[in-house]
Amino acid sequence: MSWLQRLKLVQKLALIIVVSSLATVLVGVVGIKSVANVAAMLDNTYSNNLICIQYLGAAGRAQVTQSRAYAEMLSVRESKQFDDLRGKADAAKDELTKQIDQYRKMPWSDREKSLMADFDRSSPVYQESLQKLENHMREGQYQEAVALWEKDLDRQKSHLEELVAKLAEDNRVQAEEGYQKALVDVAQGKTDLIGIGAGGLAVAGLLAYLIARALLQELGGEPEEAYSLAMVLANGRAGRNDKVFGSDISARVLAKAATAIYPNTRLDGVPESFLRAYFLRGTGKFADSVRVAPPIRQAVSFFQHNLMRDDASLGLFDVVFLRNALINFEPQKKQLILENVLTRLRPGGYLFIGLSESLSGHELPVKGAGRSIYRRL
């Protein structure tokens, strides 16, 4: 190759590099705009929905802590224990008020306004009833206090829990609808995003939706419920060798549950007798944690399972707890899940669902056996 040919080749290569650089800059500029649009979408979803779910999740936990403190009061007779529980209840009430006040600052849908109006009507009645229970306890009227709880307070508490769960579910639905709308806009060319931007928007929207789903779980069941059930069975049915099985679709959740290690903050409301019998206190760097004792761990097994599929290898169960799982699915999928679950439930066995859930509208071989409790026919 002559020097002239080499010079022309160099010129061509230089031109290609310049054109490629300009194209890269152009794509980068459009990409920056795409990232800005993605960030704006995420910020809108986070501000309008995910923060709401965070506030409601914290409010729900505070309400449960307050209710547990009052329920535990019914079994104490020493003034110091009573005062300690009263202090815990007051702190939980303050936290509940704080989180609800934060939620009030957020934009609401019409349904949220209606649910909050119901909450505002019901909450003072519940707090007034709690005050009556406290007065009965202070005056030594223990039977009256228990009767008040069984007659009114448990129902009022469940109603408020249901309202908070519905508010959180509304925000999850809104987050999902926002995500779906964003994808439709991209598909129909209503946005100025190039392909990479559209992909980024889809991933970001999916991420926001999954975060909302994860936060909503704070209002539902926790992995440690399997251990809690095993403790109750060991305490009331000693020597029966009952087995408890916990399932989840997430391998990460199952791996965490299998460790059986929890922070001390999760022990609120656990009876002292259970703490002594069924937990091991951590030491050193684990001093702020506990681990479920070996006999309970051995009674519990975890496995990965998709509720949308039936698995005959699971065999039959006497009792199934499906708390606050159905609320995340549309009616058709909910029907399929229920059919799969009931296929694995022994005739005469019991199905427990969340207080804010219902089997209304579903043709199933069950009959009601209590609030959110059904018996397999």
pLDDT digits (tens, 9 = 90+) for 190-222: 444 434 344 444 444 444 444 444 444 444 445
Q: Give the Å distances, CA to CA, from 119 to 200, 220, 372.
A: 39, 19, 21
Report how far residue 300's alpha carbon sits from residue 243's, in angstroms, rounded to the nearest whole number: 6
Per CATH, the architecture of 225-376 is what?
Answer: 3-Layer(aba) Sandwich (3.40)
Collect the ranges in the chain with pLDDT lower than 70. Answer: 1-48, 176-223, 328, 356
Give the separation between CA 173 and CA 167, rounded to whole angstroms: 10
Q: Please tell me the distance from the alpha carbon of residue 221 to that of residue 188, in angstroms, as a whole number.
A: 39
Q: What pLDDT score was predicted for residue 11? A: 54
Nearest CA to 322 out of 340, 295, 304 is that of: 340
Task: Please tell me the distance from the alpha carbon of residue 243 to that of residue 227, in angstroms, as a whole number.
Answer: 10
N-to-C CA span, the chain: 90
Tokens 């989180």 sit on residue: 99
Say which amino acid occupies 20.
S
Q: What is the pLDDT of residue 46?
A: 53
Q: Under DSSP, is residue 240 helix (H, G, I), strand (E, B) or coil?
A: coil
Q: Are strands 345-353 and 373-376 parallel, antiparallel or unpaired?
A: antiparallel
Axis crossing angle, helix 79-104 with helix 51-73, rounded to the nearest 10: 160
The structure's pTM equals 0.47
Q: Order of strands across the sheet with 373-376?
A: 317-322, 345-353, 373-376, 366-370
- Equal fold, 33-219 vs 225-376: no
CB 164 within 8 A of CB 59: yes
Both tokens assigned to 88: 């815990």
Q: Alpha-carbon distance 44 to 38, whole Å? A: 10
| Per-residue pLDDT, 372 | 84
For the chain, the structural domain boundaries read 33-219, 225-376
**202 vs 312: CA distance, rounded Å:** 36
Dig out the tokens for 104 from the structure. 């009030």
CA 159 – CA 172 distance, rounded (Å): 20
Q: What is the CATH number of domain 33-219?
A: 1.20.120
